[in-house]
Amino acid sequence: MAIKLRFKAKADGDVVKVKGLVKHPMISYDMAKAKGGEANFLTYMKAEHNGEIVFEASTSQFLSKNPVVKFAFKGAKSGDSVKISVEDLKGEKSSKEFKIK
């Protein structure tokens, strides 16, 4: 099942502010050991506008469950789309486009 992405993007002058949540259990190695399952957590996140990367993060097991992230970028306007992509430890990927308000 695809990792669910819930993001909002809003233009504020030349800057677009983005806030969102990635639905992911974010199971650390310690948690996996304690509960007997497998570790799995987001390892990579990016946002693109017009094919250019405007936000990029390599991440660890230490982001919270269903991590919320906030970031901003320049050079886009209301009506444009921003594409959010994520990847997790198991290699599962998910991408979705969100309209900038």
Partner 1 sequence: MMNRRNFVRLGLGAVAAAGLVPSSLFAVDFRKEKPDAWKAKTPADAIKAIFGTDKMDKSGVSLKAPEIAENGAVIPITIKEVPAGAKTVAIFQDANPESAVAVFTIHPRSVANGISVRIKMKKTGKVTVVADVDGKLFYDEKQVKVTKGGCGG
Residues near partner 1 (CB under 8 A): 15, 17, 26, 28-31, 34-35, 43-44, 46, 49, 51-65, 67-75
First-to-last alpha carbon distance for the chain, in angstroms, is: 28
Nearer to partner 1, 49 or 100 (CB): 49
> Could you say which DSSP state residue 37 is in?
S
In the complex, least distance from residue 2 CB atom to partner 1, rounded to whole angstroms = 20
**Cα 18 from Cα 71, distance rounded (Å):** 5
Helix (H, G, I), strand (E, B) or coil at 24: coil
In the complex, least distance from residue 58 CB atom to partner 1, rounded to whole angstroms = 4
- 90, 37 in Cβ contact below 8 A? no
Nearer to partner 1, 38 or 56 (CB): 56
In the complex, least distance from residue 34 CB atom to partner 1, rounded to whole angstroms = 5
